[in-house]
Amino acid sequence: MPPGETPLRVLVIDDDARFRERLVRAFVRHGFEAQGAASAAEAPEAARAFRPSHAVVDLRLPDGSGLDLVRELKALDANTIIVVLTGYGSIATAVEAVRRGATHYLAKPADVDDILLAFAGATLPSGQEAALTHEVPSLARAEWEHIQRVLADCGGNISQAARLLRIQRRSLQRKLAKYPVPQ
């Protein structure tokens, strides 16, 4: 690294230890200094000590929201480039992530190459522009995303998800057999 140039540092915030450590190792191989944080509580402290130039933030953490962390990381350093990762993607959360300061929003599973492309400038429109230009998802799409979230929260247990959704198990199975409705 040339003298006077700040090091590229990435903070990976994800509660999945295997995924987090795999990303940290991959970023190190790509020339970054990398560090991980396992929770929303641990992340701000790690960011203050590590002073990352880049951050990868999981949207759903057991002790808080990745969206709140985006705002906190931007408050610590407005120049931090932040990519939000989620297994529960929706237009609404993508728009909110950008409004709060994220540079990009990626659906899991994302690998280090996807994240590096996002860091390199494949950005979403600015928050206000995205809010004005995004299309409202169809009711069928919103229903499908909700079902997927509930099913994930139930660990894939269809019977439990059907009880929480207050629908018959067979009805849920029929809905799951359909492909996701395009946005």
pLDDT, block means (10 residues), the chain with 183 residues = 67 92 92 93 94 92 89 92 83 83 84 86 46 53 77 87 92 79 46
32-38: Cβ within 8 A, 24+ apart: 32/8, 33/7, 33/8, 33/9, 34/9, 34/10, 35/9, 35/10, 35/11, 36/11, 36/12, 37/11, 37/12, 37/13, 38/13, 38/14
- Per-residue confidence (pLDDT) for residue 76, from 0 to 100: 93
- Per-residue confidence (pLDDT) for residue 49, from 0 to 100: 95
Rounded Cα gap, residues 144 and 148, in angstroms: 6
Site of tokens 């993607």: 89
**Which residues, 6 or more positions from 2, have their beta carbon under 8 angstroms from its beta carbon?**
none
Global pTM value: 0.65
Are 35 and 23 in contact, with CB atoms under 8 Å apart? no
